[in-house]
A and B are shown apart, each in its own frame.
Chain A
Amino acid sequence: MTREAITRRAALLGAMGTGGLILSGCDRLSNNQTFQRMLASAEKLNLTGQRLVLNSSAPLAREYQKSDISRVFKANGTVRPDGEAYRKLAFAQFETWKLEIGGLVNKPLSLSLEDLKAMPSRTQITRHDCVEGWSAIGEWTGVPLSTLLNQAELKPNARYILFRCADDLIGSRDGSGLYYESIDLVDAFHPQTIMAHTMNEKPLPIEHGAPLRLRVERQLGYKMAKYVMRIEAVEEFSKIGLGKGGFWEDRGYEWYAGI
């Protein structure tokens, strides 16, 4: 009996010790490079797993009814970019703004908001899922990214589409904090991937990325760059920013945000 009593106490102490060990151990592991790489390997599984089913048939994200649209669509991240250049653009109602399309393309383009609005568009009511966990539903109208890329004619070595934005979430002076994002060609040519200039039938508001934002409906919100100034076709993104393919990716989030 004594032996069992001791074992019981030992087990309790052991359990408590393990609890403490889990806590401090996990923090230490969380800051260990090798362990981080091991954890990050799951991202490749997420990407490969989802691409196995997403690539072949290009299924569409669910589209909703007008009555489903969120009364308040939460604006996250930057809600009004700082800086003289953007302020001037906004003051002029973005009439002076031009979307540049360049990089690995045969025909670089420079398009005004008016040009974009005159192009064939797609309207979709979709669910926006933030990495934080909340969802909001909105109606978006814009030019399919595939239309723009086909016009610009991608060079054969183009593998990613990069979006350079006007907002600087960390307020850096040297531009190292400027928001940017990248997607691969599977998502870039998906029919629901659009450059939206209109939200809920009104010009895209500043808090949601005026004059133009990306919609990639099968990924999380942070992929959908707001305040897009320039679209660039690139072969790789390891030398851009901190090399992870996006503002949040450079700060620890996964490049593939389908989950």
Chain B
Amino acid sequence: MVFAQETIEEPPAPRTRSGKELIYRHTFFVRLAHWVNVLCVVLLLMSGLQIFNAHAMLHWGIKGAETDPSILSIYAEEQVEGPPIGWTQIGSAKFNTTGWLGVFRDRDGFLSGRAFPYWLTIPSYQNLAEGRRWHFFFAWLFALNGFAYLIYGFAGRHFRRDLAPTRYDLKHIGHSILDHLKLKHPRGEAAKRYNVLQKLTYVAVIFILLPLMILTGLTMSPGVDATAHWLLDVFGGRQSARTIHFITASLLVLFILVHLIEVLLSGVFNELRSMITGWFAVRPEDPAAQKLDERIKQRIRP
């Protein structure tokens, strides 16, 4: 455990012009993997919606087509009079989503009857063949990048050092939840590490959501299924795997939204700098809290 006995005699930490302490938060490899992942995930999500549009339904089980029951379905309904209606059916509930899903104004201003609108798909026009090419190319890049990151994460102790929640973390999870609800961001020493909710979220994304994307994606391949029947058993069939692929992708979108909101709240410049250069400025302790802290220390001192 080299990391436990941090050096005591350290040279003074670098500081920003306004005097904040700078710490080297993200190693080069983590930064590289992060940005390659950003590129891949964005392009995979958008080309994935293009592919989804070719059969805008989700089923559960081993089979499923137009006439079979569906969990989700997005479709256009033409009217005898007036413009078509875009419907989104989830389970037994049906919503009119005209303008957003099912029916929307295309780039050229004309009504189109696709599920997800042009500004969410790659390419923006309907073309399954091109969407698949984008998807598979960036799926390979995504998988190779993720694999390299995993090796680095274990071998370079990135996971153990930065992401694994400690027993102390888990005990004080309530405190962390409260801080998040109050949108209070840590300062001083606490800001040098990830908080417990952050750690758990990253662990869930890295070890559950992203691998699930790859595995459910592979289960949709008839070639892979032939050599790995167990994938079909694990996910309950090819159509279930397709549905789980979609749900997991939605959870990733949710994660990205929260991630971006947190970046906005905690300081875009500092967060971006840390993910580009590695250097992260630590906000000093709250002066009031610091004063209290000092008073306590003085009392303890005889």
Residues in chain A within 8 A of chain B (CB atoms): 3-4, 7-8, 11, 19, 22-24, 26-27, 30, 36, 38-43, 45-46, 50, 53-54, 57, 59-62, 64, 68, 70-72, 74, 127, 129-137, 217-220, 248, 251-254, 258-259
CA distance A61 to B222 in the complex (A): 7
- Among the 9-residue stretches B86-94, B122-130, B169-177, B199-207, the one with 4 or more Cβ atoms under 8 Å from chain A is B122-130
Could you tell me if B225 and A62 are in contact, using CB atoms closer than 8 angstroms?
yes
Could you tell me if B226 and A26 are in contact, using CB atoms closer than 8 angstroms?
no
Q: Is B101 an interface residue (CB 8 A)?
A: no
Q: Which residues of B contact A130 (CB under 8 A)?
A: 55, 65
Q: Which residues of A contact B129 (CB under 8 A)?
A: 248, 251-254
Could you tell me if A30 and B63 are in contact, using CB atoms closer than 8 angstroms?
no
Knowing A133-B242, A253-B129 touch, does A43 contact B65 (C-beta < 8 A)?
A: no
Of A7, A23, A50, A134, the residue contacting B57 (CB under 8 A) is A134
Q: Is B112 an interface residue (CB 8 A)?
A: no
Could you tell me if B122 and A72 are in contact, using CB atoms closer than 8 angstroms?
no
CA distance A53 to B228 in the complex (A): 10
**14 residue pairs from A and B, CB less than 8 Å apart:** A4-B268, A11-B264, A11-B269, A26-B122, A27-B123, A41-B137, A57-B227, A64-B62, A68-B62, A70-B65, A131-B128, A135-B65, A251-B129, A259-B222
Could you tell me if B65 and A134 are in contact, using CB atoms closer than 8 angstroms?
yes
Could you tell me if A252 and B127 are in contact, using CB atoms closer than 8 angstroms?
yes
CB within 8 Å of A: which B26-82 residues: 42-43, 46, 51-52, 54-55, 57, 59, 62-68
Could you tell me if B133 and A40 are in contact, using CB atoms closer than 8 angstroms?
yes
Q: Is B139 an interface residue (CB 8 A)?
A: yes
Could you tell me if A259 and B272 are in contact, using CB atoms closer than 8 angstroms?
no
Could you tell me if A27 and B124 are in contact, using CB atoms closer than 8 angstroms?
yes
Minimum CB–CB distance from B268 to chain A (whole Å) comes to: 5
Q: Is B85 an interface residue (CB 8 A)?
A: no
Q: Which residues of B contact A54 (CB under 8 A)?
A: 223, 226-227
Q: Which residues of A contact B134 (CB under 8 A)?
A: 26, 30, 39
Of B68, B139, B268, the residue contacting A70 (CB under 8 A) is B68
CA distance A79 to B264 in the complex (A): 54
Knowing A218-B222, A252-B129 touch, does A259 contact B63 (C-beta < 8 A)?
A: no
Could you tell me if A135 and B267 are in contact, using CB atoms closer than 8 angstroms?
no
CA distance A35 to B242 in the complex (A): 28
Could you tell me if B136 and A46 are in contact, using CB atoms closer than 8 angstroms?
yes
CB within 8 Å of A: which B268-282 residues: 268-269, 272
Knowing A30-B134, A71-B67 touch, does A258 contact B221 (C-beta < 8 A)?
A: yes
